[in-house]
Amino acid sequence: MAELDTSGLNTAGLTIDRVTKRFGEQTAVDALSLTINPGEFVALLGPSGCGKTTMLRILAGFETINDGTIQLANRILASTDIHVPPEQRNMAMVFQSYALWPHMSVADNVGYPVKLRGLRGAAYQQKVQQALVLVELDAYAHRMPQALSGGQRQRVALARCLVSDPSVVLLDEPLANLDRHLRATMEHSFRDFHQRTGATLVYVTHDQTEAMALADKIAVMKAGKLVQWGAPETLYRQPRTAWVAGFIGQGSQLKVAADHPGKRLENAALMRGLNAIESERTQSVLVRPEHIQISAALASSAAPTHNQLAAQVESVIFRGERYELTLRLPSGETLLAYHHTAPDLGSQVTVDLQQGWCLEPDQ
């Protein structure tokens, strides 16, 4: 394989400062602020209608803003009185639909942006070859798009972005049209591409598993607002609100007697909070399935210890490497837990809750 040369990728930091976008009476993006460091892989994550795609279009220059500023390195791209057009932003965009020319070869599709700029001859061929090497498609240069798989077409679209040496690559749900197996394969391709190029990537998705697998940092959005910003591990282990806890990963939200949002409760403290009287149990706590240990079935005459709870098995789902259980506690609350064997439906088991994370109330 040819030697990779990524020196042309002019990575730069991107600053989004209190950006607001309204469509009539509707606020699509509401005072959103982010600082994206050069070379970071950032995901904009949220449900449909949260404003993530609008924010990406704002970054690309397809939409103006009503308030705030966007700055790339030391250059203002957008403000209330400045709007740099898309072709002058040195950004590239990969669309969900690939948007390849069906009558052009892979190489011609990739080279189209620089051909429009007048690049020809050996310099043109070198640019196209380098972009194809970066996405591991140099052997497919003369094929037509219809002869490629969906994943290969997506990589052609990515190479077409890279050929113009962008400062930032914007990706609008690029895996949404792929089947589950191909999505997993392309996740590896995107992650590998980012590691090899060091490009600054802003990636829009509604799939939290996809965002967690790919991104250095994730901006979780809801109703146009940024609700939490951080590394995937932080969002999973320390979600700020009950809504984020429910959107990122799996888990159960219980009520405990505690008043410390943003605090971790270990086993003894968590059990004390759960065993308090109902009127004192006002704090929401997140318990992830991997932090629940299930003991053997509880005999009808036995009782759990002070650090355990009795629970009834309500459902058992086989997930391949484990069983996913829904358990009902005496309080009426439910627990999602994992186990290596399948207990009988309706049976009583004891559970040991190892830790929980106290949540802020949703705004």
What's the CATH code of the domain at 341?
2.40.50.140
347, amino acid identity: S
In a domain, 2, yes or no: no
Looking at the structure of the chain, the number of domains it has is 2
**Which among 289, 283, 267, 305 is positioned nearest to 338, based on CA atoms?**
289
In a domain, 245, yes or no: no
Same domain, 52 and 132: yes
Taking only the tens place, the pLDDT of each residue in 266-316 is: 989 998 999 889 899 999 999 999 999 997 665 444 555 666 889 999 999
In a domain, 302, yes or no: yes
Same domain, 196 and 288: no
Neighbours of 117 (CB within 10 A): 9
Same domain, 38 and 163: yes
**Which among 265, 263, 215 is positioned nearest to 39, based on CA atoms?**
215
Same domain, 217 and 276: no
β 283-287/323-328 pair status: unpaired
Taking only the tens place, the pLDDT of each residue in 117-175 is: 888 999 999 989 988 887 888 999 999 999 998 888 888 988 888 888 788 989 998 87
In a domain, 5, yes or no: no
Same domain, 211 and 294: no
Domain membership of residue 228 as a residue range: 14-237
Same domain, 191 and 58: yes
Same domain, 228 and 278: no
